[in-house]
Amino acid sequence: MSIMTWTYIIVGASFALYLSIAWMSRVKDTKGFYVAGGNVPALANGMATGADWMSAASFISMSGIISFMGYAGCMYLMGWTGGYVLLALLLAPYLRKFGKFTVPDFVGDRYYSKAARTVALICAIFVSLTYVAGQMRGVGIVFSRFLEVDVNTGVYIGMAIVFFYAALGGMKGITWTQVAQYGVLIFAFLVPAVAISLKITGNPIPQLGLGGSIVEGKDAGQFLLTALDRIGTDLGFAAYTTGFTGPGAKPMLDVLAITMCLMVGTAGLPHVIVRFYTVPSVRAARISAFYALLFISILYTTAPAVAAFARYNMVDSLNGVAYKSAPSWFTNWQKTGLIAWIDKNGDGIINYSYGPAFTGKLAFTGQDGQYGQPLIKNEPTTNKNELYVDNDIMVLANPEIANLPAWVVALVAAGGLAAALSTASGLLLVISSSVSHDLYFRMINPQASEKTQLLLGRIMIGVAVCVAGYFGVNPPGFVAQVVALAFGLASSSFFPIIVLGIFWKRTSREGAIAGMIAGMGFTLLYIIQTKFMGVAPWFLGISPEGIGTVGMVINFIATVAVTMMTPPPPAHIQDLVENVRIPRGAGQAAAAH
């Protein structure tokens, strides 16, 4: 059977599973809608957290970044993994002890202020909308290739699917759907990784294959990484295993800033934090955090190997090959506009060399990939590169490049969709609960019935889906870039306020409000300037993906400075903070308040 037939079968079966779970888990009360009733088993919550956490950026884009950047691309790997450890060990148990539904709930009660709650609510919506836009983009990319539809059409299909099961089942439906999605995405990631590792290095364990030797072909006997270093330098790139020197290498300061931003941004992501409210106790929160880290590590330790395999196979199959003899996977992906060849010297040969090779959207203008001009502003006339590749296709195209069976290709498509949709649903629920619970119920109409809250929550999911779909169609970058911007906003707004709120009872509401506004404001302004207004990165050369680290420092400084100039919190708030840190059981601290 063809790839498309297998895709319809496997993706269709997975969608039927997700929608069936959502229907069986539909809810009629707010506790089920917001926190799945608070009784999800730790193991299931760990799997759901893993799926919620491993978005399209992790499944689709992270390996693509490492594949093109080499060593420095691991900043995403290190930042996201380290960030989850930080969240699980430093913050999650205390937030669960507090016993509230959302991050704005925590901020509003801890800082005894509707204004603080409002600022946190705005921050949560900004972070979640930015993040979910990346997921919609990932959905569009998968559909565009494997169902042979336009990228934008793929985004619209994803919008409809995720709206159905997020609005119907709330957090309860999302949780059990994410358990299934974790199984799909991890199986889809590992099967081709194992097969390609065995094919290239003779070792079925990808993590070991990464450090192994190539078993056949012109590079037989060489270590895989040694071959990648040689291939990269021969083409004019920096060596694959070199971090911060050579053509196109990122400055070390920027890499450190991005890594730190991703790490602390993780600890401030509202859709991950809320997962620790769905378990019945603080102990269960700790156990589910352990399970989630275990499940996440399976993919994250495999990703560098997948990146290396994809890079080696792509260059080997394309560079120096006549376009007329190009492999079928290349011509298939050309139809999506996410990979293209432009014959600059008229020799009919695909020449891949150092130069702008990625655009963030479509790789070319014109009717097909062989003609037109690359969509790169101010491209140097000396640039001889003829191959334009979107990072986000590397994992999805990897099975085709390696000539794996059609069902494996379709399985990867299902895994990419599972990763994108699982995270998108969690983010949409955060947006919904921020408006329906934190704004409407807690601030506008405390007497609202559960029916009214649920209706408003579902309406807000629909609004959020539409906004996310717009940015999925018109993204400011590739998937991981868009997601990195969300982490920057989270690190500059929530992380300092949550940490200080738990560990420094002197922190005042005035300090928290000032810190969130200063940190988020600076980060958002910098991102708008550098992403949308054409301004070059002006703060020590730090890219917009890493500027959240600076915003976090500004937040800390502003919060501490204003706190020291304002009265301390009331005694009952200080007692509340003390109670949160004493192991008396879930929800007791909030009850004492």
**What's the confidence (pLDDT) of residue 375?**
46
Range of the domain at 267: 3-38+70-205+262-288+404-592
**Mean confidence (pLDDT) of the chain:** 80
CA 414 remoteness from chain centre: 17
Q: How many helices, marked H, and strands, marked E, lie in the chain?
A: 24, 2
333 touches 339 (CB < 8 A): yes
Strands (E), 141-260: none
Residue 31: per-residue pLDDT: 63
* 230 occurs within a structural domain: no
pLDDT above 70: residue 459 = yes
Per-residue pLDDT of 345-373, as tens digits, reads 788 888 888 765 544 444 544 444 343 44
pTM, full prediction: 0.79
Q: Is the pLDDT of residue 63 over 60?
A: yes
Q: Is 154 exposed, middle or buried (0-12, 13-18, 19+ CB in 10 A)?
A: buried
Residue 295 has pLDDT above 70, yes or no: yes
Q: Residue 475's pLDDT is what?
A: 65
Percent of the chain at pLDDT exceeding 90: 14
- Which residues, other chains included, contact 108 with Cβ-Cβ below 8 Å and sequence gap of 6+? 114, 116, 117, 120, 438, 442
Give the separation between CA 530 and CA 527, rounded to whole angstroms. Answer: 5
> Is pLDDT of 379 > 60?
no
For residue 196, the model assigns a pLDDT of 94
Tell me: the pLDDT tens digits for 560-582? 999 999 999 999 888 888 887 76
**pLDDT at 332 (0 to 100):** 81
Q: Please indicate, yes or no, if residue 355 is contained in any of the structural domains.
A: no
Domain membership of residue 456 (yes or no) is yes
In a domain, 392, yes or no: no
Checking if the pLDDT of 505 tops 80, the result is yes
Per the domain annotation, does 267 fall within a domain?
A: yes
Closest residue by Cα to residue 317 from 392, 218, 177, 223: 218
pLDDT band, very low/low/confident/very high, at 214 (cuts 50, 70, 90): very high
Domain total of the chain: 1
User: pLDDT per residue over 536-546, tens digit each?
Assistant: 888 988 988 88
Confidence of residue 116 (pLDDT cuts 50, 70, 90): confident
522, 556 in Cβ contact below 8 A?
no
162-171, 311-320, 459-468, 505-514, range with greatest mean pLDDT: 505-514
Reported as a pLDDT band with limits 50, 70 and 90, residue 138 is: confident
Q: Which two tokens stand for residue 490?
A: 């989270």
Q: Is residue 343 part of a domain?
A: no
Identify whether 322 is part of a domain. no
DSSP string covering 28-56: SSHHHHHHGGG---HHHHHHHHHHHHS-H
CATH code for the domain of 126: 1.20.1730.10
Is 229 a domain residue?
Answer: no
Q: Per-residue pLDDT averaged across 59-67, rounded? A: 84
Q: Kindly state the percentage of the chain with pLDDT values over 70.
A: 87
Parallel, antiparallel or unpaired: strands 387-389 and 339-341: antiparallel
What pLDDT, on the 0 to 100 scale, is given for residue 476?
56
Residue 89 has pLDDT above 70, yes or no: yes
pLDDT single digits (tens) 409-433: 889 888 888 887 777 777 777 777 7
Task: Give the pLDDT of residue 27.
Answer: 64
